[in-house]
Amino acid sequence: MKYFFEEWEKLREALSDKFIFLFLDYDGTLTPLVDNPQDADLSLESRELLRRLKDNSRCKIAITSGRKLEDLKKRVGLEGVLYVGNHGLEIEGTKINFKSPLSLHYLKTLQEIKKDLGTNIISAVRGAFIEDKGLALTLHYRLVDKKDIPRLKDLFRQAMIAYMAKDKICLKDAKMAFEIRPPVRWDKGKVAIWLLARQHFMLQEKINIIPLYIGDDVTDEDAFKALKNKGITVRVDGGAGSSAKYFVKDTSEVFRLLEEIGKVLA
């Protein structure tokens, strides 16, 4: 990966006459990672910057997150942006209101899993907790003592074997967490490609749209791969082995990057 700001002069020139479609993760990208997801509040400065960007006629913003849609909307609090919750299982914005049609059987299975995790892991490993996102579950272990993490992972795998064997769920690694999702082929990469095609159709003009995707998590790698050679992909923290082409060091540099995009659009 290349450091984004070392390549900025060339990138700025490439973006100068383009319609920019910004795809932004929330946790670890727009806000610093925190121990408790409920404490990840968007700063007033970041919200105002996003407001200026989304009001520009040459920019569209999609906030893509593993968070529940309603939670994401409440935290960002802006109209005119696309909200992509639960890794694309829920999408809401201008002229779009999508929710993946999941079976009652799956939703029942999800609650069974939540109960199993509570019995076998939450009560056994201090610091672990479950985030119920309606259409998915996340088992967080950021607060678990390092020496207990291997045991937690073993317990988790054992608890999931029966569900995985029957293809009842899909498991994904995340930062200090496990994502439990429906067994459907739908992720941040497929969502980004779909929304990009939709934007081309909505503009109904031969406008050159370039996607710019910024994320920090394992779940963002699907988007980095999907958008390869189609746009600009940026990993926050420069994680080794990422499929992103560029990286920035932290969320403060994400803010700086977005400020530079604002100048290009001015």
Question: How much is the pLDDT for 167?
Answer: 84
Cα 209 to chain center, whole Å? 21
| Nearest one of 48, 38, 56 to 77, comparing CA atoms | 48
Burial tier of 79 (Cβ tally within 10 Å: 0-12, 13-18, 19+)? exposed
Domain 104-181 CATH superfamily: Trehalose-6-phosphate phosphatase related protein; domain 2 (3.30.70.1020)
Q: Write down the CATH number for the domain with range 2-100+186-265.
A: 3.40.50.1000
Phi and psi at 154, nearest 5°, equal: -65, -45
The per-residue pLDDT for range 26-40, each reduced to its tens digit, is 999 999 999 889 999
Q: Work out the average pLDDT over 166-192.
A: 92
Contacts of 4 (CB under 8 A, 6+ apart): 11, 234, 246, 247, 248, 253, 257
If you average pLDDT over every residue of the chain, what do you get?
Answer: 94
Domain boundaries, the chain: 2-100+186-265, 104-181
The per-residue pLDDT for range 192-221, each reduced to its tens digit, is 999 999 998 878 766 899 999 999 999 999
Q: Work out the average pLDDT over 240-259.
A: 95
Q: Work out the average pLDDT over 160-166.
A: 89
Tell me, yes or no, if the pTM score tops 0.75: yes
Question: How much is the pLDDT for 251?
Answer: 98
Residue with tokens 């100068």: 16
Measure CA of the first residue to CA of the last residue in the chain; give whole Å: 28
The per-residue pLDDT for range 85-103, each reduced to its tens digit, is 999 999 999 889 999 888 7
